[in-house]
Chain A
Amino acid sequence: MAILPPSEGWFQQKVAKDEKIWMGLAFVVSVFLFFWMIIWHVYAKQNPSFTTYRTTPEEFYALTEAFINKYKVGEENGVPVVKPPPGSDVFLLARQFRWEPVVILKKGEEYRFHISSLDVLHGFSLQPVNMNFMVYPKYDYVLTFRPTSAGEYAIVCNEFCGIGHHMMIGKIIVEE
């Protein structure tokens, strides 16, 4: 009875057969899920990274500016467009309410993205592949991407960052 103290000897009562089987099954599934995440880290290709660097908005801004100047190939709607070589470090800056720069990548090549913010928290949401990561000020999140499909991709901000949050959209272009 849920409303009265349990009857004497409740602690010695045997567990019914079906409850015992169920608990065994539930426990095995639970432990399996835990090890599954570790196995996925070892063998599969989609995992959050181990690398974060400490930075400052000033330092990260300077690095992004230098990165843009080095690899700039044009401008689109006021946003610089860069085309870094495969294997390079890519700097992506989030600020209220825009992403900089637009990046052109090559399909199947690896790029080390450094993502940080100048002001508040932002959300990096790559569409339509639907991969989502958080962006902090003062922390440089390093994510090594290998695009496996070509086309135009949007970077939607999906962490509330202020009144212009819905205008914050960037772009990644993947070439064959």
Chain B
Amino acid sequence: MAVAIEGGEKWFRTCDVTGFRVDVRAEKIAKLNAVMAVVSFLIAVIAALLLVLTRWQLFHVLPVDWYYRVLTLHGLDALVFWIIFFELAALVFGSTAFLNTRMSSPAVGWLGTILAIVGWLLVNYTILTGNADVLMTSYAPLKAHPLFYLGMILFAVGALLIVMVFFANLMIWRRENPGQSLPLFVYGLMAAAIIAVITIASGAIIYIPTFLWSLGIISDIDPAVYKLVWWGLGHPSQQINVAAHVSVWYLLAFLTVGGTSINEKVSRFAFILYIIAINVASAHHLLVDPAVSPVWKVWNTSYVMYLAVFASMIHAFAVPSAIEVAQRRRGFTKGLFEWLKAAPWGNPAFSGLMLSMIIFGFIGGITGVVNGMEQTNIIVHNTLSIPGHFKGAVVGGTALAFMSVTYYLIPLLFRKKIAFYGVSKFVPWLFGIGIAILAVSMYILGAFGIPRRHWDITFSGGPFTYTFNPVTDFFWALFGIGGLLAVLGALIWIIQVVVSVFFGQPFRGPQDLQIPIAEPPPAPDKEHEGFAAPGTFALVLLFITAFVIFVALNYGWLSAMWEVK
């Protein structure tokens, strides 16, 4: 169990595995937020199962009103609650344990957590009682019950309080450690927290008047202003994820193989680019909209000349090269890829890390750039390609990274042994491959013009009809299989977490550690000249080739469409 620390600081325990001093008051808040994250994820996954079996019209299980209701539920629990609660846990834990510092204000931390939970309850309740069939985006003038907007506001305020506690913790650390730099993991979390401030502020700016409008106090919400400001919440909330899961990648590279970024300055520079440029990509959602001009669109959609894409490509080299260099120092130096072959693939956190990077880069990243370019957006906007893209980015990237790191959080944060540890090594594969199949089949279905958020693509009851290319039947089957695999993987993971945390055996010390923590690799014999990570270099060249080809293909396809200006 926790070892009491000398010196009378009663709120600390010293971790017997990592040696970190952990503020127990912060730990409790982090645990509750992590539990809320998993509960939200469970709701989202059950909803996902119903949605897959409805859109695959062979089954079409939900009636029309429940389809949109469950879609609203899925969107908010998956894209907002699961990941933001997880990130709040990471912010609280990361800014205390990882900095050997104390929680600045446990009271504010608790207040934030409770407000967020009350907001979460209100939102889920109004949706399930049929009072908020407006989907995640709730575009005005579609109107939900006032309690729905109030719930979103409370959640946002709660989250903002915890982000403020995070910055207060950093300031305490700064005062106690003048002149030091943050550990890279916390630095990435700091980037995520800054993006969170922007996200949450935008959410407050738009939800407060919308709440007053739903009460009848304000007569009108302008649809263009709503959509502009709402996406200041909707898109950066996913950029918090990018910053957070890239931080988790660095953390996992260290925990699983002892890998360290080969150049901390480069990695931090990439996080700074995120902070400055990534938020304006909210414009991705307004590219084929009236009101804002193409000048505004091109400038903002490109993250100010693709600085954030540049940053992601820097991380795409930095994380695998950290792994490669550590492995090479251990003696796996043969050829380009011996380091990769000899990697600990049986460790679920490592296989999860690799799959998360591959799916995020090759599926989420590449499709994201095509979707986010002003002109090619014409051929993807609001088709199934859009959720196909963010299944790759957020589910394959973020959710899988968070699931992987949880295998370390169960022993180290919750002090429990992992239940059914033997199945863990299959979970990332089941979930990752399922999501990859799901994402790719959705992207292809979108290319055939199939709309997202649509209950019946045979248009029953409409004045006309339209039949999509029959080839889509094949991709609907793939979509179903991928979705079911991913749901299965997610459910196994949830069962493992719930059983471990609530009914698991206590973790008594290093001898109970099931998932390995790598020793740091031996120091290099001599200064390295030339290429540090040739294998990674080959992989990123493959990536950029695929990237450029995919962009070119989409522009080629676009040029075959009707002319429009």
A interface with B by C-beta (< 8 Å): 1-6, 10-11, 13, 15-19, 21-23, 25-27, 29-31, 33-34, 36-38, 40-41, 44-50, 52, 76-79, 97-98, 119-121, 123, 125-141, 143-149, 154, 156-171
Contact = CB atoms under 8 A, between A and B. Distances in A.
B1 interface: no
B310 A163 contact: no
Given A19-B321, A30-B307, A44 B559 contact: yes
CB-based closest 7 A-B pairs: A30-B306, A141-B290, A158-B451, A154-B466, A16-B532, A26-B313, A146-B563
Contacts of B253: 2
B218 to A, nearest CB: 16
Interface string B447-464: 111011111110111111
Interface stretch (B36-44, B199-207, B263-271, B474-482): B263-271
A141 B227 CA distance: 15
Contacts of B520: 1
Interface of B: 18, 64-65, 68, 98, 133, 135, 139, 141-142, 177, 180-185, 222-224, 227, 247, 250-251, 253-254, 260-266, 286-291, 293-294, 297-298, 301-302, 305-307, 309-310, 313-314, 317-318, 321, 369, 373-375, 377-383, 447-449, 451-457, 459-466, 468-469, 520, 528, 530-534, 536-537, 540, 544, 547-548, 551, 555, 558-559, 561-565
B459 A166 contact: yes
B464 A171 contact: yes
Given A3-B98, A159-B382, A166-B456, A98 B561 contact: no
Task: Determine which residue in A132, A136, A167 has the highest number of CB atoms from chain B within 10 A of its CB, and name it.
Answer: A132
B255 to A, nearest CB: 8
Contact of A17 (B451, B469, B530): B530
B223 A169 contact: no
A71 to B, nearest CB: 19
Given A5-B182, A169-B463, A169-B466, A44 B318 contact: no
B526 to A, nearest CB: 15
B260 A1 contact: yes
A18 B537 contact: yes
Contact of B464 (A45, A47, A139, A170): A170
Contact of A47 (B294, B305, B461): B294
B533 to A, nearest CB: 6
Contacts of A5: 177, 180-183
A170 to B, nearest CB: 7
Contacts of B141: 119-120, 137
Contacts of B532: 16-19
21 contacts: A2-B183, A2-B251, A5-B181, A10-B181, A17-B530, A18-B536, A19-B262, A29-B313, A33-B309, A37-B373, A40-B375, A45-B565, A48-B288, A121-B142, A121-B223, A129-B562, A131-B378, A136-B224, A148-B561, A159-B139, A167-B460
Nearest to A45: B563
Contact of A154 (B379, B455, B464, B555): B464
Given A2-B261, A5-B182, A134-B290, A25 B544 contact: yes
A156 B419 CA distance: 49
Given A33-B302, A136-B223, A145 B562 contact: yes
Contact of B562 (A13, A120, A147, A167): A147
B288 A158 contact: no
Nearest to B304: A34
B234 to A, nearest CB: 14
A169 B183 contact: no
A98 B264 CA distance: 56
A156 B466 contact: yes
Contacts of A15: 263, 265-266
B351 to A, nearest CB: 19
Contacts of B289: 133-134, 136, 141
Nearest to A132: B381
Contact of A132 (B379, B551, B562): B379
Nearest to A4: B183
B310 A27 contact: yes
Contacts of B183: 1-6
A75 to B, nearest CB: 11
Nearest to A40: B375
Given A13-B265, A119-B141, A133 B463 contact: no
